[in-house]
Amino acid sequence: MSLRSAPEPRGLNGTYTRRVIDLRSDTVTRPSETMRSDMASAEVGDDWFGDDPTVNRLQEEAAGLLGTQAALFVASGTMANQIALRIFVRPGHEYVAEARAHVASTEVHSAAANAGIAPRPIHAALGLVAAEQVAEALRPDPYGVRVVDLVCMENTHQAGGGSVLAVETLRGIRKAADEAGVPLYLDGARLFNASAASGTPVGEYAAQAHACMVTLSKGLGAPVGSVLCGDEAFIREARRVRIQLGGGWRQAGILAAAGLVALRDGPARLAEDHANARRLAEGVADASPGAVLPEQVETNIVYVEPGEMGQTAARIVGALEDRGILAGDVGGRVRMVTHLDVSQSDVDAVVRAWREVA
Ligand SMILES: *Cc1c(COP(=O)(O)O)cnc(C)c1O
């Protein structure tokens, strides 16, 4: 058997001796001093037995913030989503999701391998699905072959440019799901960004869903982890599936301690990331008119269409890298994400570099 695999990640591997401005993702942040000292002194126990007091505290805090009965700390957003898909969707059945949503793109193979399921995709500009589209996707298959067990929504929508789904829209989607007798799951990897931008408390979004997840290791700045939230029966089942996936862990309080700092201090500073992303988009739009619409940048993600500049994403990303700036080439677009390790003066430096590159 030949084991074909993806290429090795390139990694920075100490290539950069000068400081880089890393806009590849909001996952690249380093834990703060407060996080590191709380991690060092965290009280821990064996979480497999439910013994870890710091994990338990994180789960209680998260459930409190999201307004759910219970929560489960897991290694990644992908693990949270995969556990939820396994619980809600029977093998051979489908889940409705926007076509570029994480669960319908990056995770499509995980869902196939872990749960034997496939997405029924809906296409929406900026990823912002309308309730009518969901209702349409939930209409029974006349041949009685394709059955939908779940509706998944993503907020903010990453590939849609960090776009915010309004809680009124989510309410309409919930209504459509209720009418079809199908539960609603919310991938809230960046739900705190949605909340910071819209002013809607995270609990109001979560209240529309039967379960949801939030990621601690993105804008909130923790080194590792996500939290899956739902009612007690769902979380009990989630704990079992987590073990099946190899995700049961032990003295995870070391990580939960950082998660607690992320939940406490992270949300309040997201507005700064959003202001920086808008400033970046305005600078880029000024240098490359039409390549990005700054008014569409609501949160911390900026996508630029290089075709508008007669360029390719690969060339722009390479030219920025030569100037100590890391951006992403994501599906032929240039992606730049702001986070707590990117300052306003960094943004201004990126805009100056962009002018040279463009
Ligand atoms: C990043 C992301 C995930 C996955 O989180 P990981 O911790 O990287 O596994 C899931 N959904 C969305 C919308 C994301 O942006």
pLDDT score of 16? 57
The domain boundary, picked from 265, 296, 328, lies at: 265
For residues 115 and 226, membership in a common domain is answered with yes
358: CA distance to ligand 1 center in Å? 31
For residues 40 and 142, membership in a common domain is answered with yes
Q: Which of 28, 78, 110, 335 to mutate to test the pocket of ligand 1 (most atoms within 8 A of CB)?
A: 78
Rounded-to-integer distance, Cα 153 and Cα 103, Å? 9
Range of the domain at 294: 3-30+269-357
pLDDT score of 12? 66
Of all protein residues, the one whose alpha carbon is nearest to atom 14 of ligand 1 is 189
pLDDT score of 14? 58
For residues 169 and 91, membership in a common domain is answered with yes
266: CA distance to ligand 1 center in Å? 17
Q: Which of 27, 153, 155, 215 to mutate to test the pocket of ligand 1 (most atoms within 8 A of CB)?
A: 215
For residues 184 and 254, membership in a common domain is answered with yes
For residues 248 and 300, membership in a common domain is answered with no
**Whose CA is closest to 68, among 180, 173, 156, 188?**
188
For residues 51 and 199, membership in a common domain is answered with yes
Q: Which of 107, 114, 158 to mutate to test the pocket of ligand 1 (most atoms within 8 A of CB)?
A: 158
The domain boundary, picked from 265, 289, 314, lies at: 265
pLDDT score of 290? 94
pLDDT score of 256? 98
189: CA distance to ligand 1 center in Å? 6
46: CA distance to ligand 1 center in Å? 26
Question: What is the atom index within ligand 1 of the atom nearest the CA of 81?
Answer: 10
Q: How many domains does the chain have?
A: 2
For residues 209 and 293, membership in a common domain is answered with no
For residues 201 and 348, membership in a common domain is answered with no
CATH number at residue 89: 3.40.640.10
CATH number at residue 348: 3.90.1150.10
What predicted TM-score, i.e. pTM, was given to this entire model?
A: 0.96
- In this structure, the residues whose C-beta lies within 6 A of any atom of ligand 1 are 76-78, 81, 102, 154, 158, 187, 189, 215, 217, 226
For residues 348 and 244, membership in a common domain is answered with no
For residues 135 and 207, membership in a common domain is answered with yes
For residues 108 and 228, membership in a common domain is answered with yes
Tokens of 55: 């994990």
163: CA distance to ligand 1 center in Å? 15
pLDDT score of 13? 58
Per-residue pLDDT 10s for the chain (358 aa) are: 677 777 777 666 555 556 899 999 999 999 999 999 999 999 999 999 999 999 999 999 999 999 999 999 999 999 999 999 999 999 999 999 999 999 999 999 999 999 999 999 999 999 999 999 999 999 999 998 899 999 999 999 999 999 999 999 999 999 999 999 999 999 999 999 999 999 999 999 999 999 999 999 999 999 999 999 999 999 999 999 999 999 999 999 999 999 999 999 999 999 999 999 999 999 999 999 999 999 999 999 999 999 888 999 999 999 999 999 999 999 999 999 999 999 999 999 999 999 999 8
The domain boundary, picked from 265, 286, 316, lies at: 265
For residues 353 and 259, membership in a common domain is answered with no
pLDDT score of 204? 98
Q: Which of 103, 187, 191 to mutate to test the pocket of ligand 1 (most atoms within 8 A of CB)?
A: 187
